[in-house]
């Protein structure tokens, strides 16, 4: 089999090389800053101020993009930053990882007219990184302290955005998370080459310094009961995300070398933090020197293939049962993966695995697209007799996530769920069926995006504040 050349050499993966590059970057810091400023102004000045800001309406936070682009183009960078952060709790994070090709940039009028989008995300990231550098970021200092406390379960973007908003309003906020670091999928899911972990840790530190209390290594339903949390707080926000990985059965599915995407990515991110990760060191969750097949076509699959390339895989293939046009992942990410040497095997579905003790291949079958279903998407059908084996030493299953069974695990009687197992919540206030309990982010939407989690977290925080303010007013009368 001819192996494609992967673009990342072992030298590029070496940490000493990275350190040397960082040092060089320090030397050239001033030049880089000037360059970044010029690039941001250049891009911002490409905005035609079209008057029909589809970019804004397609941003889930309705960021005032044309106005902060104009301010950037005029060199009024602090004002541009102030405006961009007025609607976004974590602009530097969205600027880095929003699938802009499906949101703001994909709807830029200049992009639509074939001249290439204004790089809105990059400008947003630049402004907030600059704000941190220049000390424009205000610490969280509430004008007055409030006695009411809110318990937030889950320190992902939904929980963190809500915590930020509530703490600024003076409320006492405690976040419980089963992990040892805050950030949710920002910390342990999304790879560091897309979102540097210092950027997430900087926000965690800002919240902690602002008085948000973090209770780490605390699984609700395991280390503390949901009832205890309810008793300890005036309101509770559930922001636990969705973590039950969809699985793949079939012959051979129990052999070693077949792993879940979330385990693989978490191990890689933990290694990046310098943690001790035995399953990585043993090779179980490490792609180095292996032929890797990733099964799935979403953004998680893209993160797996690109991580495998960086770990030094011999070859990386992505198996997806539909074609490129029908792929759920970001086209930009597909392009990035292809540039790095990943091979996409379209219209191919897994049927099982080969190998006795360890996986040696994925048994696959070729597909064709049949009639469209109710959503308008063409249904893939197997082509009889087209079975074959895709050789591999590591198979990564990236088939999506479902919610955990919270009502049963938490003994949360009265908490209504949808038929998909997500929590039923009011789409505006995020109130659940239990008074005083709110829910936000993926646990309500199903697997979604960071920017939506931020929006939900902010809206839930506003509704909680409104409820507590109303109760305080009644008590004072
Ligand atoms: C691999 C991967 C890559 C992604 N890439 C992108 C991307 O590039 N751009 C993008 O916009 N979106 C991306 N997403 C989606 C995005 O990460 C999620 O939509 C977003 O993080 C959801 O935020 P959340 O706060 O609802 O949940 P999460 O980020 O999942 O956070 C939930 C938190 O709750 C904690 N928790 C769960 N259960 C319990 C419990 N019982 N007790 C205590 N704590 C608990 C978890 O430890 C976690 O910290 C990606 C998702 C994955 C899996
Ligand atoms: S938050 Fe996301 S969608 Fe909105 S402007 Fe920023 S990058 Fe675009």
Mean pLDDT of the chain: 92
Q: Which residues contact 300 (CB under 8 A, 6 or more apart)?
A: 189, 261, 262, 265, 398, 400, 401
In whole angstroms, how far apart are CA 416 and each of 84, 231, 404, 420? Answer: 36, 20, 14, 11
pLDDT the model gives residue 373: 81
pLDDT the model gives residue 8: 44
- Does 32 score more than 80 pLDDT? no
The mean-pLDDT minimum among 258-262, 301-305, 366-370 falls in 366-370
95 C-alpha to center of ligand 2: Å? 6
- 343 DSSP β-pair partners: 317
Assess contact for 44 and 50: CB atoms under 8 A.
no
458 lines ligand 1 (CB under 6 A): no
- Does 405 score more than 80 pLDDT? yes
- Does 5 score more than 50 pLDDT? no
Q: If you take atom 15 of ligand 1, which residue's CA is the nearest one?
A: 449
117 lines ligand 2 (CB under 6 A): no
153 lines ligand 1 (CB under 6 A): yes
**Alpha-carbon distance 471 to 212, whole Å?**
22
pLDDT the model gives residue 24: 56
pTM greater than 0.85 (yes/no): yes
100 C-alpha to center of ligand 2: Å? 6
Q: What is the pLDDT of residues 244-279, one digit of tens each?
A: 999 998 899 999 999 999 999 999 999 999 999 999
Q: Taking residues 445-473, what's their average pLDDT?
A: 97
pLDDT the model gives residue 2: 35
* Angle in degrees, 0-180, between the axes of helices 450-476 and 157-168, rounded to the nearest 10: 30
- Does 288 score more than 80 pLDDT? yes
pLDDT the model gives residue 14: 39
Q: Taking residues 189-218, what's their average pLDDT?
A: 97
- Does 187 score more than 50 pLDDT? yes
**Nearest residue to 226 via CA among 306, 312, 153:** 153
104 lines ligand 2 (CB under 6 A): yes
410 lines ligand 1 (CB under 6 A): no
- Does 18 score more than 60 pLDDT? no
Give percent above pLDDT 90 in the chain. 82
Q: If you take atom 8 of ligand 2, which residue's CA is the nearest one?
A: 104
241 C-alpha to center of ligand 1: Å? 5
**Alpha-carbon distance 346 to 418, whole Å?**
33
26: burial class by Cβ within 10 Å (0-12, 13-18, 19+)?
Answer: exposed
283 C-alpha to center of ligand 2: Å? 37
The mean-pLDDT minimum among 9-18, 157-166, 373-382, 388-397 falls in 9-18
157 C-alpha to center of ligand 2: Å? 14
Q: What is the pLDDT of residues 128-178, one digit of tens each?
A: 999 999 999 989 999 999 999 999 999 999 999 999 999 999 999 999 999
178 lines ligand 1 (CB under 6 A): yes
- Does 285 score more than 70 pLDDT? yes
């Amino acid at each position: 089999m001819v192996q494609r050349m992967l673009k990342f050499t072992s030298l590029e993966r070496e940490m000493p090389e990275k350190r040397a590059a960082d040092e060089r970057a320090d030397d050239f810091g001033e030049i880089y800053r000037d360059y970044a400023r010029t690039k941001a102004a250049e891009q911002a000045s490409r905005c035609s101020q079209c008057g029909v800001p589809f970019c804004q309406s397609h941003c889930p936070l309705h960021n005032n993009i044309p106005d902060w682009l104009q301010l950037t183009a005029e060199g009024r960078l602090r004002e541009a930053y102030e405006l961009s952060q007025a609607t976004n709790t974590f602009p530097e994070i969205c600027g880095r990882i929003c699938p802009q090709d499906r949101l703001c940039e994909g709807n830029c009028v200049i992009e639509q007219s074939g001249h290439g989008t204004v790089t809105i995300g990059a400008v947003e990231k630049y402004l907030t990184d600059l704000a941190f550098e220049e000390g424009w970021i205000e610490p969280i200092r509430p004008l007055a302290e409030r006695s009411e406390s809110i318990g937030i379960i889950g320190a992902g973007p939904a929980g963190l955005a809500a915590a930020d908003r509530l703490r600024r309003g003076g409320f006492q906020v405690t976040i419980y998370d089963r992990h040892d670091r805050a950030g949710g999928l920002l910390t342990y899911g999304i790879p560091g080459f897309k979102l540097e972990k210092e950027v997430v840790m900087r926000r965690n530190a800002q919240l902690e310094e602002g008085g948000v209390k973090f209770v780490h290594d605390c699984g609700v339903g395991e280390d503390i009961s949901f009832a205890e949390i309810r008793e300890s707080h005036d309101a509770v926000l559930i922001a636990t995300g969705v973590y039950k990985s969809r699985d793949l059965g079939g012959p051979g599915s129990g052999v070693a070398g077949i792993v879940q995407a979330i385990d693989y990515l978490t191990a890689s991110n933990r290694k990046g933090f310098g943690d001790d990760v035995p399953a990585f060191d043993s090779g179980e969750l490490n792609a180095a020197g292996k032929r890797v097949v990733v099964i799935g076509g979403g953004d998680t699959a893209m993160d797996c293939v690109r991580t495998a390339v960086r770990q030094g895989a011999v070859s990386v293939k992505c198996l997806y049962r539909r074609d490129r046009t029908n792929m759920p992942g970001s086209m930009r990410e597909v392009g990035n993966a292809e540039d790095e040497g990943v091979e996409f095997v379209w219209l191919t579905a897994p049927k099982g695995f080969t190998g006795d003790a360890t996986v040696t291949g994925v048994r696959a079958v070729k597909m064709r697209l049949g009639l469209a279903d109710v959503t308008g998407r063409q249904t893939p059908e197997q082509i009889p007799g087209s079975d074959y084996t895709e050789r591999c030493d590591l198979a990564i299953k990236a088939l999506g996530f479902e919610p955990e069974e919270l009502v049963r695990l938490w003994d949360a009687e009265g908490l209504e769920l949808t038929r998909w197992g997500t929590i039923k919540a009011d789409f505006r206030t995020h109130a659940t069926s239990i008074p005083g309990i709110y829910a936000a982010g993926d646990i309500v939407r199903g697997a979604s995006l960071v920017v939506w989690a931020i929006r939900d977290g902010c809206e839930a925080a506003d509704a909680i504040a409104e409820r507590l303010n109303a109760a305080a007013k009644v008590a004072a009368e």
